Amino acid sequence: MSLDEERRARVILSLVSEPGDWGFTTLAHELGGRALLEALHSDPDRHDLLSAAAARLSTVDGDATLARAAAAGMRFVIPGDAEWPEQLTALHGSDPLNERGGVPIGLWVRGPLLLDTLTDSVSIVGSRTSSSYGEEIAAGIAGQVAAAGHPVISGAAFGIDYAAHRGAVSMQGHTVAVLACGADRIYPPAHRRMLEHLAAEHAIVSEAPPGAAAQRVRFLARNRLIAALAKGSVIVEAAARSGALNTANWAQRLNRVVMAVPGPVSSGSSEGAHHLIRVGAATLVTGGADVLELVGGSGQHLVSEPRGPSTRRDRMSVKQRQVLDAVPVTCGATAVSIATVAGLGIIEVRKALGRLEDAGLVTQAGGSWVVRPETSAMV
């Protein structure tokens, strides 16, 4: 059987089934598209799932759909193609969420970016009703990871999704929009310029056939693809019930890296992200450097432990710090008095005072020691 025959069969299956229907995607993965299509023709009464799809066979034309898709600059990518993203195979055998799951029958793609280049991609998703803080963080993370060579995947929705695409594009990195409608449709309409740019320079991907409308259940099916395509998923501003948490759930099931950005503790739009962090389902990240460390290879993009600027006090011994703290700021004190306050022996104190004087931190006059006026700013 040729790959072209398998492709034609899967086009028809894509047209007669609902995207992400777990039973149907499982049969297509295990039997193959051609064998499943033959079963629809020869024995549709074996199962309600088959009979429902078989009833729609007379209403579709696979070759005509492929021709219209090609005219719109779209291609249908299936398992066996060199471009097929093998990481999607992890979806097979995973328990469905909301009866949606499984390896997609195929992917309708619009744009020049090849899907097999998404192995090290990062998905960034979050609230549609995002704050300026969330959008700034999402765009910053997207820009940094895209500039480092990790394509950014999101859903082209309002809020965090759009900010993620914008951030990647601003840094001349690659970004992919995974839609819940046909890849030939502009959804949401307000993002026409961005989607047209992605179609021209990057990629738009959908499991739904050309012309398919966005429906609530299709967003749930779409989320698993965003999670499965990416090496790791970043959640920014997700409420307690949100599609972003559905994506995080899929990423966790697929053993992908799950990350979440904290927001204000009083923010309802960050409640879901905070819960992921609290229960250990996601690693806290605050910027692109944190994300790169988690998705990069061993020894790559290591983040240094945050530290404040070093001071001269950092280079002192513990005893020298004790002595310096015991030296008065205004009225001078003798070495004996300083030793008493510091709780150290007089010999140790005299040695420490000498080193502190050499360092320009203390001064003496008439046997009394005092901290130099500029010392407090130096240490």
Together in a domain, 331 and 199: no
Say if residue 220 is in the same domain as residue 157. Answer: yes
Q: Are 103 and 29 in contact (CB under 8 A)?
A: yes
Same domain, 332 and 290: no
Residue 243 sits in the same domain as residue 358: no
Task: Give one word for 345, left, alpha or beta, with left for phi > 0 and alpha for psi -120 to 50.
Answer: beta
Closest CA to 117 of 161, 88, 83: 83
| Res. 312 pLDDT band, cuts 50 70 90 | confident
pLDDT at 177 over 80: yes
Alpha carbons 105 and 91: distance in angstroms, whole number: 12
**Mind listing the pLDDT tens digit for each residue in 192-219?**
999 999 999 999 999 999 999 999 899 9
Beta bridge partners of 75: 109
Does the pLDDT of residue 302 top 70, yes or no? no
Contact 291, 285 (CB under 8 A): yes
Nearest-10 crossing angle of helices 346-358, 335-342: 110
- pLDDT surpassing 70 at residue 329: yes
Whether the link from the prior residue into 373 is cis, omega within 30° of 0, is no
Q: What is the pLDDT of residue 376?
A: 59
Same structural domain, 162 and 83: yes
Domain total of the chain: 2
Q: Phi and psi dihedrals of 245, rounded to 5?
A: -70, -30
Shared-domain flag, residues 246 and 220: yes
Domain membership of residue 194 (yes or no) is yes
Q: What is the pLDDT of residues 66-81, one digit of tens each?
A: 999 999 999 999 999 9
What's the pLDDT score for residue 241?
84
Comparison of pLDDT for 375 and 33, the residue scoring more: 33
Return phi, psi of residue 114, to 5°: -80, 140
Same domain, residue pair 291 and 322: no
The mean-pLDDT minimum among 12-21, 107-116, 328-337 falls in 328-337
Considering the domain architecture, whether residues 180 and 327 belong to the same structural domain is answered as no
- Residue 136's identity, in one-letter code, is E
**265, 295, 325 - which closes a domain:** 295
Confidence label for 360 from pLDDT (cuts 50, 70 and 90)? confident
Which structural domain, as residue segments, surrounds residue 243?
71-295
Q: What is the pLDDT of residue 306?
A: 67
Same domain, 233 and 350: no
Residue type for position 123: S
Using only C-alpha atoms, the chain has a radius of gyration, in whole angstroms, of 31
- pTM of the full structure: 0.84
Q: What is the CATH number of the domain that holds 258?
A: 3.40.50.450
Give the domain CATH number at 335.
1.10.10.10
Q: Is residue 172 included in any domain, yes or no?
A: yes
Question: How far apart are the C-alpha atoms of 107 and 82, rounded to whole Å?
Answer: 13
